[in-house]
Amino acid sequence: MRLDDEAIKALRALEAAGMTRSEAIRTALVSASKRLNHRRNLAAEAAALDADKSDRAEMRDVAAFMESLRATR
Q: What is the largest CA-CA distance in the chain?
A: 63
> What pLDDT does residue 73 have?
65
pLDDT tens digit at each of 73 positions of the chain: 899 999 999 999 999 999 999 999 999 999 999 999 999 999 999 999 999 999 999 999 999 999 999 877 6
Which residue from 33, 2, 31, 36 is spatially nearest to 19, judged by alpha carbons? Answer: 31
Helices in the chain by DSSP H: which ranges?
5-16, 21-51, 53-71
Domain locations in the chain?
Answer: 5-71
